[in-house]
């Protein structure tokens, strides 16, 4: 019994509780691009890409290793001449709309863009009719 307990204790010590990878971060995870214009492009894109691990953060804000690798991916692609929107499209093709914080009009999101316009038009028509009606009454009185 005691021996089993000891073995269990030893096993606990022997297995390091590594929650994350122990390899160093990707070269461009924490290193900016030399060209400030390209770095600005890359950074603007990073601010609008969701971290897959810490899903309420952008990859620019997250310290998760996966976010670091994604920053590396984005910086190398930008440095190779790819446009930010092409990279966003590449990511959306893999992870769906959810990966991007930038609102996109798609088959599921179009009501969000159309509804406010309809509501505004409806409100406008109602107000117009009301004013006209009141104006008419005012004239009569």
Closer CB to other proteins, 22 or 36, in the complex: 22
Closer CB to other proteins, 38 or 66, in the complex: 66
Residue 17 is a binding residue for other proteins (CB under 8 A): yes
Residues with Cβ within 8 Å of 113's Cβ and at least 6 positions away in sequence, in order, are 105
Query: Tokens 């010590």 sit at which residue?
Result: 13
Residue 20 is a binding residue for other proteins (CB under 8 A): yes
Closer CB to other proteins, 2 or 15, in the complex: 15
Q: Find the shortest distance in angstroms from Cβ 65 to other proteins.
A: 6
- Binding mask 35-64 toward other proteins (x if CB under 8 A, else -) reads -----------------xx-x---------
Judge contact between 58 and 101, C-beta under 8 A: yes
Among 73, 75, 78, 84, interactor with other proteins by CB under 8 A: 73
Local structure of residue 50 (DSSP, 8 states)? B
What is the three-class DSSP state of 49?
strand
Taking the C-alpha atoms of residue 46 and residue 61, their distance in angstroms, rounded to an integer, is 9
Query: Tokens 């690798």 sit at which residue?
Result: 69
Which residue(s) pair with 50 in the sheet? 58
Report the interface residues with other proteins, using CB under 8 A: 17-23, 26, 52-53, 55, 65-66, 69-70, 72-73, 91-96, 98-99
């Amino acid at each position: 019994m005691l021996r089993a307990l000891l073995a269990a204790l030893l096993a606990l010590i022997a297995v390091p509780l590594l929650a994350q990878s122990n390899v160093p971060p990707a070269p461009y995870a924490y290193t900016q691009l030399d060209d400030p214009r390209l770095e600005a492009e890359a950074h603007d894109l990073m601010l609008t890409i969701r971290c897959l691990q810490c899903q309420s953060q952008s990859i620019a804000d997250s310290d998760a290793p996966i976010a670091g690798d994604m920053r590396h991916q984005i910086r190398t692609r930008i440095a190779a001449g790819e446009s930010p929107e092409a990279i966003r499209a590449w990511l959306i093709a893999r992870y769906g709309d959810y990966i991007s914080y930038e609102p996109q009009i798609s088959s599921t999101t179009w009501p969000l863009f159309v509804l406010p316009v309809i509501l505004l038009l409806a409100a406008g028509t109602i107000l117009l009719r009301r004013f006209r009606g009141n104006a008419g009454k005012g004239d009569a009185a």
